């Protein structure tokens, strides 16, 4: 079993990295995270602890909830701890709150 490094499955949001991942055929989830949010902190820890369990064709990008107003508006995000799955055109496919 190959163990993934954090950046190979979970990293901070960067539009260029997201577009690269989508172009290469990866599935992408955006995790709207706030450091003051207990459930966000718990999910972040769970992801980091279980990084090897993230499928090789999947990337999770942590989006700073407090400083991403345009993205929150684009994806209709109204609370922290929201995951938005996007397609190759960066359109929302599914949202989990």
Name the pLDDT band for 1 (thresholds 50, 70, 90). very low
**How far is residue 27's CA from residue 87's CA, in Å, rounded to a whole number?**
7
Contact between 62 and 20 under an 8 Å Cβ cutoff? The reply is: no
Sign of the Cα torsion 71, 85, 47, 8 reads: negative
- Range 82-86 average pLDDT: 98
Answer yes or no: is pLDDT of 81 > 80: yes
- DSSP letter for 31, please: E
Q: Is 55 left (phi over 0), alpha (psi -120 to 50) or beta?
A: beta
Homologous superfamily in CATH for domain 6-96: Glutaredoxin (3.40.30.10)
Residue pLDDT, tens place only, 11-41: 999 999 999 999 999 999 999 999 999 999 9
According to the model, what pLDDT value does residue 7 have? 59
């Amino acid at each position: 079993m190959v163990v993934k490094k954090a950046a190979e499955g979970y990293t901070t949001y960067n539009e260029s990295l997201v577009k690269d991942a989508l172009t290469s055929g990866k599935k992408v989830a955006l995790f709207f995270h706030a450091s003051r949010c207990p459930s966000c902190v718990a999910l972040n820890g769970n992801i980091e602890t279980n990084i090897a369990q993230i499928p090789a064709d999947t990337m999770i990008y942590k989006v700073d909830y407090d400083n991403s107003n345009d993205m929150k508006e684009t994806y209709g995000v109204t609370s922290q701890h929201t995951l938005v799955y996007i397609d190759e055109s960066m359109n929302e496919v599914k949202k989990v709150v």
